Amino acid sequence: MSSSLRITAAKPDAALLDLPWDKPLSRWPDSIVAALPQGISRHVVRFVHLDGRILAIKEIGDSAAHHEYQMLRMLQRLDAPCVEPVAVITGRTTRSGRPLNSAFVSEHLPYSLPYRALFGQYQRPETVDRLIRALSVLLVRLHLLGFFWGDVSLSNALFRRDAGEFAAYLVDAETGEVYDGITQGKRLYDIDVARTNIIGELMDLQAAGHLSEDYDTIDIGNRLVAQYTTLWDALTGETTFFTDEKWRVNEHVKRLNELGFDVDELQIVADEDGRRIRIQPKVVDAGHFSRKIIRLTGMDVQENQARRLIQDIEQYRVAANKSVSLPIAAHDWMTNVFEPMIDAVPRELKGKLEPAELFHQFLDHRWYISEQAGRDIPMDEAIASFIDNVLRHQRDERSYIVVSGATPITSASPITGDSPITGDSPITGDSAPSVESGDEDEFDDEFDEDKYDS
């Protein structure tokens, strides 16, 4: 280990010292590398096992590594949807003293997938629509926080399932900046970059045979712009109505809640003639239903999952006793419905989906088999059917780690349904031989400094 090695971290972790920082990431041994699906990146990236965790490590220049670390820490303090930064590693050298690029370390986001891992040759176009909706919501949320992304794309985000939709998380903040308030020029720049990048990424999928050739990629890029604009205007634009329509104030707030946002303050201004009033949201926070389910159950889940859980709690409340308060109904629902369903899942299947998504899919399955049978299927029977007919056939989404002896997943390998795992090698599709003890001198002879020069 180089004496000049430096680790910058908010929460120091001595276990980081055990990683082979004296080797380029492309030469790290297979014994610590986790073969997870990865999006396209201009940097070398590896997922590694460390003390029961999975970390994402990216080789990058010193200043860029520190900038991304600080940006993500700031976004986390603002409660933005993004990966968690862990550390910056600088002063890396080989054992013979040759310099290596710095490394940026972040936590792997459980149950998340890069967009390329969601596509197979027969993937439905609806998947693209859901990804675009998720990315537009993420971009609006970041802009409301004053964050200028600078390089918006599907590749720079990760996606989690969210009750039939996807939730997007920022994963690359190299080009980002946080301001007190984002200007219209910066917003429009982000939108234009997003449109251009998305069209290119979808064309790349078409060229690889993972998206139908007759799919209109330019229309999808335009759709991102339209969806972003509609949501931004709803959250920040003014609404005008007559003074005898004051009920529309509550209607407007309710609409924003349905979009998943809370309004902390409304600015209400009357026109000079006194016949019309204008309202404009002053401060808008995302996560209306997520915060509500936390208050009711203590569970931290995605927005659409929270919406679905609250609907089920309300139905449970009506069926049990309408006079019971919602918090009491939520407690009873957790005890009698949610927890028994989750506990019924065999241990070896618990990593398939996160609990809230698992419960959402169970509700869909119970509705489907009840409709097929023409009767309400009892809870126990529905759980057994869901486990045997749905859950057993899904992949683990906590972390898509390739089992020993299997062909690792590559960025172009689909993670859909029960299609077989295919690919060339872990993470990149390129051969990445491990360097065993005693091979360092041979490695140093063939090492190209220019390739790793920051």
| Per-residue pLDDT at 443 | 40
Judge contact between 289 and 275, C-beta under 8 A. no
Rounded Cα distance, 252 and 282, in Å = 13
Tokens of 150: 């600078």
| Phi-psi region at 52: left, alpha or beta (left = phi > 0; alpha = psi -120 to 50) | left
| Per-residue pLDDT at 271 | 72
Of 74, 44, 72, 71, the residue nearest 58 (C-alpha): 44
| Per-residue pLDDT at 39 | 58
| Per-residue pLDDT at 120 | 54
How is residue 150 annotated by DSSP? S
DSSP letters, 434-446, are: ---TT-HHHHHHH
The alpha-helical segments, DSSP class H, found in 259-351 are 288-297, 303-320, 326-333, 339-343
Which residues are CB-contacts of 428 (< 8 A; sequence separation ≥ 6)?
38, 44, 410, 411
Burial class (CB in 10 A: 0-12, 13-18, 19+), 142: buried
Helix (H) or strand (E) segment spanning residue 184:
helix 184-207
| Per-residue pLDDT at 232 | 92
| Per-residue pLDDT at 447 | 41
How is residue 337 annotated by DSSP? I
Rounded Cα distance, 292 and 297, in Å = 9
Name the one residue in this structure whose structure tokens are 């997938």: 113
CA dihedral 138, 140, 141, 145 (to 10 degrees): 140
Name the one residue in this structure whose structure tokens are 């429009």: 188
Judge contact between 435 and 443, C-beta under 8 A. yes
Tokens of 294: 């936390």
| Per-residue pLDDT at 397 | 63
Q: Provide CATH 3.30.200.120 ranges for the chain.
A: 6-108+406-447
Residue type, 159: F
Rounded Cα distance, 450 and 454, in Å = 9
How is residue 163 annotated by DSSP? T
Residue type, 40: I
CATH number of 113-236: 1.10.510.10
Judge contact between 108 and 56, C-beta under 8 A. yes
6-108+406-447: CATH topology is Phosphorylase Kinase; domain 1 (3.30.200)
Name the one residue in this structure whose structure tokens are 């073969």: 35
Rounded Cα distance, 178 and 182, in Å = 8
Judge contact between 103 and 59, C-beta under 8 A. yes
| Per-residue pLDDT at 40 | 64
Judge contact between 142 and 80, C-beta under 8 A. yes
| Per-residue pLDDT at 184 | 95
Tokens of 389: 């007919």
Which residues are CB-contacts of 335 (< 8 A; sequence separation ≥ 6)?
none
Rounded Cα distance, 230 and 138, in Å = 14
* Signed CA dihedral, 142, 143, 145, 151: sign only: positive
Q: What are the pLDDT tens digits along the chain (454 aa)? A: 556 889 999 887 888 998 999 999 989 998 888 777 665 667 888 999 888 888 999 999 999 999 999 999 999 999 899 999 999 999 999 988 899 999 999 999 888 888 888 775 445 677 888 899 999 999 999 999 999 999 999 999 999 988 888 999 999 999 999 999 999 999 999 999 999 999 999 998 888 888 888 889 999 999 999 999 999 988 888 777 776 676 777 787 888 887 777 776 677 777 766 667 777 776 667 788 888 998 999 898 888 899 899 989 988 888 877 678 889 999 999 999 999 999 999 988 888 888 999 999 999 999 999 999 999 899 999 999 999 999 988 766 665 543 333 333 333 333 333 332 233 333 333 333 333 333 444 444 444 444 434 3
| Per-residue pLDDT at 434 | 34
Cα distances from 204 to residues 113, 132, 171, in angstroms, run 18, 16, 20
Residue positions counted in the chain: 454
| Per-residue pLDDT at 409 | 32
Q: Provide CATH 1.10.510.10 ranges for the chain.
A: 113-236
Rounded Cα distance, 403 and 51, in Å = 19
| Per-residue pLDDT at 208 | 83
